[in-house]
Amino acid sequence: MDVSKDIGSLKGVGPKLREKLNKCGIFTVLDLLLYFPRDYEFLRSNIDFNEIDDKEKQVLSCRCVSIERDVRTKTGKFITTIKFDYLGYVVDGKWFNQRFIKNSFKIGENYDLMGKYKKLGNRLEIVNPIVGVKVAKENEIVPKYSLKGDMTDKILIKLINQCIEDLKINDNLPKELIEKYKLTDLDFAIRNIHFPSGREELEKAITRLKFQELFNYSMKLLILKRKLKSKNGIKFDWVDELADLKAALPYSLTEAQTRVVREILRDQKSQFPMNRLVQGDVGSGKTVVALIAMFNVVKNGYQATLMVPTEILANQHYLEAKKLLEQFDVHIELLTGSTSQKEKRRIKELIATDTPMIVIGTHALIQEDVEFANLGLAITDEQHRFGVEQRNKLINKGRRPDVLVMTATPIPRTLALYVYSDLDISVIDKLPPGRKPVETKFFLENDRTAGYSLVMDEINKGRQVYIVCPLIEEDEKMELNSVEKLYRELKDGIFRNVEVEILHGKMKPKEKDEIINRFKKNETKVIISTTVIEVGVNVPNASVMIIENAERFGLAQLHQLRGRVGRGQYESYCILIGKAKSEVTKRRMEIMTSSTDGFYISEQDLKLRGSGEMFGMRQSGDEGLILANIYEDLAILRCAREEGKQLLNSNNPEKVRLCNEIAESLDRWSQYICFN
């Protein structure tokens, strides 16, 4: 069977079912096979009476003995009772409001009944059992899929079964690897991930598939890196004006910034395209590094672009760029969703000519009709906010431009190598001097008045305040409510005489800008917002950040939010308000109040949560990882990566062929793959 064929071509899949499958993201047979269960039900069948346990579902083969008369309860429900025999024990099967169920049974026949059996002395009782489950094995493990719409497990099980039956899955890992790591073959793994013949087999299937995913992932990154290193990019000279720019900055670069700038400039000068990640904690001064990099490219006669996730940030960077660079005769444009049509047209026309210039913008930059005549450098700021495709689109606007991605998401050093193994990494590991660490305090919800009174002191001193409420996922109304509710509450109370404004994601960009600008100009003292404020906003006079329902945020995000304050010369505070129901929450809040080091925090978070969620790495399954998790399966990843490296360096013809095969499949994907 060709696994790439449309799911609609399967027997029994009509247009309606096809649509349902599509809703679950299943378009081809392969998609179906890779639609792994989210969980399993461990069913035991036909066990001894003594072993029956009313906490777990069991399947027992019961002989129908008699069908009783329906009973009507006081509340008007009908109870149908059918008596069965199981190994000499009486079983009462009871159904509520399913009077027709009687027709499914014949006295003297055997039926497999699934459900939780309750022991009443020597009898058994089961309520609303499911009839006719196939009891294939002693102990069956039933897959549970994640379901959308009115899809059911039953449909999926039937279809997957049908596909697997007439399919022999060929292996795609080198034999030696399978032997070395005692992995099962792929065919076994796919069959057992859906329909495990036992717990041990399930474990084996999972391990094999995780290895597989992480091996592919490593190969992808390694091959990509090798390819990039083998291609010729643009060579940029170091222009003399770099020294003038450096002298004109209102501050001197920190040692860390200087080192990173040097690393970037070295890449620019080399004949290979740059592919570099700049990691630096919030406030470490990444913007100016990006501006210097763009400056050099423009002075070499090329175009450079900086893409950021929000309009607020685009504006801020634009103004900063103008302030620092315009005196050097650098042409700078701003392109965002709210740029007027006329302006957009003008800017796009200009970009399409080979005028050297810097273009700063949002997603508007990657629209199809934006064509760069000679893009030399593509930068994405706050890269975790972009999907792989978006980042890649930007890069594809040029012919092998240099690529720089910037992130404040701290990734523990031990992991960075694996997560970003195709990128060269620069770390800005020191903050500019004079920054005072943000003092962080945690208040239980009942004590929040105490937290807020500290705020009034700061406002009276002339400072400004951010208040952040969590964005309640998938419920826009709730989101508005939480911000608006808090606004009303505070406006009626402590902030009666204070200028307060609301900011949230559903506002028009222009509206958001106006609000931020009033805040920047110190006309507003307090902004109550959702997490739209998270990335990059820079208002040095703001000295307090209050975070409501702090327990709902990941530590990395709390750290990012906290980075909005402590940007000026003032003593700054972060006040976390929330519940501390569990030990883990308490510990997490402790981590926040005791440290301001993003790397330390992320490492601790990793220990506590043992998951990659906090980095937003799993957000879109970009890496083709379904079962494996880079953070949890680091041990497997290490092996897989090591093997991948060896495979790539091997001269053995068989292995070279395998590498070429993988590389070829990468070519097909490369439009979806990005450089991180």
> How many angstroms separate the CA atoms of 351 and 356, rounded?
9
How distant, in Å, are the alpha carbons of 38, 416, 606, 676 from that of 384?
26, 14, 17, 10
Q: Which stretch binds ligand ADP (CB under 6 A): 112-120, 247-255, 385-393, 453-461?
A: 247-255
Nearest approach, Cβ of residue 461 and ligand ADP (Å): 20
Contact at 8 Å (CB) between 147 and 24?
yes
208 binds, among Mg ion, ligand ADP, none (CB under 5 to 8 A by kind): none
Q: Which stretch binds ligand ADP (CB under 6 A): 146-154, 275-283, 526-534, 642-650?
A: 275-283
Helices (H), 553-633: 555-562, 583-594, 598-609
288 binds ligand ADP (CB under 6 A): yes
Q: Give me the 347-376 binding string for Mg ion, x by CB under 5 A, dash otherwise.
A: ------------------------------
Contact at 8 Å (CB) between 379 and 306?
yes
408 binds ligand ADP (CB under 6 A): yes
Q: Which of 468, 465, 490 is nearest to 479 (CA)?
A: 468
Q: Give me the 498-537 binding string for Mg ion, x by CB under 5 A, dash otherwise.
A: --------------------------------------x-
Residue 662 token pair: 């993988």
Interface pick for ligand ADP out of 78, 96, 251, 669 (rule CB under 6 A): 251
CB-nearer residue toward ligand ADP: 80 or 296 = 296
Q: Which stretch binds ligand ADP (CB under 6 A): 4-12, 283-291, 490-498, 633-641?
A: 283-291
Q: Which of 257, 255, 379 is nearest to 313 (CA)?
A: 379
Interface pick for ligand ADP out of 80, 184, 216, 254 (rule CB under 6 A): 254
Nearest approach, Cβ of residue 307 and Mg ion (Å): 13
Q: Give me the 99-138 binding string for Mg ion, x by CB under 5 A, dash otherwise.
A: ----------------------------------------
Q: Which of 49, 107, 58, 118 is nearest to 82 (CA)?
A: 107
Q: Give me the 176-215 binding string for Mg ion, x by CB under 5 A, dash otherwise.
A: ----------------------------------------
Q: Which residues pair with 304 in a beta bridge?
A: 358, 377
641 binds, among Mg ion, ligand ADP, none (CB under 5 to 8 A by kind): none
Cα atoms in the Cβ-side hemisphere of radius 13 Å centred on 336: 20
> How many angstroms separate the CA atoms of 667 and 675, rounded?
14
280 binds ligand ADP (CB under 6 A): yes
The residue sitting closest to ligand ADP, measured at its beta carbon, is 285
Nearest approach, Cβ of residue 284 and Mg ion (Å): 9
284 binds ligand ADP (CB under 6 A): yes
197 binds, among Mg ion, ligand ADP, none (CB under 5 to 8 A by kind): none
What part of residues 531-560 is at the interface with Mg ion (CB under 5 A)?
Answer: 536
Interface pick for ligand ADP out of 58, 192, 207, 257 (rule CB under 6 A): 257
Residues in the interface with ligand ADP (CB under 6 A) total 17
How distant, in Å, are the alpha carbons of 338, 498, 590, 675 from that of 427?
34, 40, 26, 17
b/e string for 38-72 if b means 16 or more Cβ within 10 A? eebeebbbeeeeeebeeeebbbbebebeebeeeee
CB-nearer residue toward ligand ADP: 367 or 541 = 541
How distant, in Å, are the alpha carbons of 406, 545, 554, 555, 586 from that of 600?
19, 21, 14, 11, 17
CB-nearer residue toward Mg ion: 233 or 536 = 536
DSSP string, 354-403: T---EEEESGGGGSTT---SSEEEEEESSGGGS-HHHHHHHHTTSSS-EE
> How many angstroms separate the CA atoms of 501 and 517, rounded?
12
Q: Residue written as tokens 């810097």?
A: 358
Q: Which stretch binds ligand ADP (CB under 6 A): 15-23, 278-286, 345-353, 486-494?
A: 278-286
Q: Which stretch binds ligand ADP (CB under 6 A): 50-58, 126-134, 185-193, 276-284?
A: 276-284
Q: Which of 266, 270, 262, 275 is nearest to 234 (CA)?
A: 270
The CB density around residue 581, as the number of other CB atoms within 10 Å, is: 9
Contact at 8 Å (CB) between 533 and 564?
yes
CB-nearer residue toward ligand ADP: 401 or 536 = 536
CB-nearer residue toward ligand ADP: 207 or 596 = 596
CB-nearer residue toward ligand ADP: 533 or 636 = 533
Residue 11 token pair: 């027997």
CB-nearer residue toward ligand ADP: 409 or 604 = 409
Nearest approach, Cβ of residue 257 and ligand ADP (Å): 6
Interface pick for ligand ADP out of 538, 541, 593, 650 (rule CB under 6 A): 538
Q: Which residues pair with 236 in a beta bridge?
A: none
> How many angstroms separate the CA atoms of 573 and 198, rounded?
55
What part of residues 82-111 is at the interface with ligand ADP (CB under 6 A)?
Answer: none
Cα atoms in the Cβ-side hemisphere of radius 13 Å centred on 530: 21
286 binds ligand ADP (CB under 6 A): yes
Q: Which of 233, 235, 236 is nearest to 273 (CA)?
A: 233
Contact at 8 Å (CB) between 62 and 82?
no
Cα atoms in the Cβ-side hemisphere of radius 13 Å centred on 151: 22
Q: Give me the 396-415 binding string for Mg ion, x by CB under 5 A, dash otherwise.
A: --------------------
What part of residues 567-596 is at the interface with ligand ADP (CB under 6 A)?
Answer: 567
Q: Which stretch binds ligand ADP (CB under 6 A): 250-258, 260-268, 618-626, 655-663?
A: 250-258
What part of residues 602-641 is at the interface with ligand ADP (CB under 6 A)?
Answer: none
3-state secondary structure 120-163: ECCEEEEECCEECCCCCCCEEEEEECCCCCCCCHHHHHHHHHHH
284 binds, among ligand ADP, Mg ion, none (CB under 5 to 8 A by kind): ligand ADP
Helices 598-609, 555-562: crossing angle, 10 deg rounding: 160
Interface pick for ligand ADP out of 219, 223, 253, 532 (rule CB under 6 A): 253
CB-nearer residue toward ligand ADP: 88 or 250 = 250
Contact positions vs Mg ion (CB under 5 A): 536
Contact positions vs ligand ADP (CB under 6 A): 251, 253-254, 257, 280, 282-288, 408, 432, 536, 538, 567
